[in-house]
Structure 1
Amino acid sequence: MSETAISFAQVRAPLAGSTSCLQLDLQITAGQFVALVGPSRSGKSLTIELAAGLLPPQSGKVMVLGQDWSAVEEAGDGPVRLRVGAVLQQPGLLSNMTLFNNVLLPLRYHRGAMPDRQREQVVMAQLERLGLASLRDRFPAELNQGEIRRGAIARSLMLEPDVLLLDDPVAGLDADMVLVLKQYVEARRQQQPLTVVAALRSFSPFIEGADRLVVLQDGRVEADGSLESVGRTVPPALRRYVE
């Protein structure tokens, strides 16, 4: 039996700006790439925040890598938190650090024994794969939205987490960069087991790399399955999100 990486067990949580509640009873298998799609205020971002342990549910239980988030201290970097990489809608690069130093940060804090030269090689390899190597010395204010987002994704993978949570990862990316990001994630999944959950605001070629598509509306799951099966069963009003 395949191991469950993320479990939402009878989860309820209020949706901001809406009278509806997110209602989730969802299991995500280790190693799966799951794309969440649907209209605004359908619960996509909230699902990512719950999975990242950033918000507690109103009721129910969120388990990640066998750990109940409600039993994990909010402060500090416990073992489970270091196994989960997350990039939210606001990627959060530190404004007083260059792109290189932002991406280096997790290695500096948690891989202190690694030689400086090796850390630089690791960081530059990731920046190169994401088309950011030439921007290494720029500060966030000198980068566009897509460059900031790609930098945050590189930073989130520095500690080789088991779970990667992405909220709108293709925002600000042109078509070529979407393909670069898609290939980057695919390569990381081939290197090591990686569970990916990505929330997307519209259909994108990035979705084509997903094993599973979950369509949300008003906090409820309207369709769940492969891209092909969801395309056949999703309500007409939601079809534009899956094709």
Structure 2
Amino acid sequence: MTAQIPANPASVEDGAAQYVQSLVDHWDELIDWERRKAGEGGFFDALLSGTGARRVLDAAAGTGFHAVTLAEAGYDVTAADGSLAMIEQTARNAAARGVELPTVCADWTELRSHLDGRFDAIVCLGSSFPHLFDAAERATVLREFYEALEPGGVLVLDHRNFDAIRAHRYRSSGNFYYCGGVQVSVAHVDAERCRFRYEFDGEVTHHLEVYPVLADELAGLLRTAGFESVERYGDFRAEFDPHGADFIIQVARKS
């Protein structure tokens, strides 16, 4: 079975629409929470703790892995996602683990109208930001994140290593992000569009399309949005092979 994707995805809503129920039902299988937690080695907890953050917004909660684990670590977390099916699964996963977690289904371009106050940190993980195909919308969303942060707050945003993908030098290791033994491959890539293929047990197949943002390109967008500094990590390391990392993590600080 193949998920239906919009012919010309161009907005937050279209990106969220790719997460049909059949894909959401398999998402925790794709992640494997325990293996992913071990692979991350407490990176995000240590990063946020180092900034003094307490109130955290997970702006791309998915099925809730980071929102729940950060809440378990003692942070005051609000979970948001543009996909209703995803945020409903977040709520179920939080309840199953005995975690109280406010959840919001919200378009990033109208994020602050759905939230109460500002946050010390925003995390936007799982290569979610590249679901924005429109350049103006990418700028708008980053500014929305900026305004939702307290002064001195941080935005932690990750994306697949599209520099490597666009150079045709990428292979998903399965060691850090998608640890459940699901096969993830690049079906197509050009300067404007990247299509990933997900195979579950060799039977259920889905495709997701994203904009293949380059690392320097995103860092420039973050600075244009007002962030004063941007740090970069590859697979949780400050020193990394630019064509060897699965994911790039960018940490931007508000002045």
Same structural fold, with TM-score higher than 0.5 when normalized by the shorter chain = no
Which bracket does the TM-score occupy, shorter chain normalised? 0.3 to 0.5
Alignment TM-score, normalising by the size of structure 1: 0.38
**Greater RCO, 1 or 2 (C-alpha within 8 Å, sep 6+):** 1
Q: Which has the larger radius of gyration?
A: 1
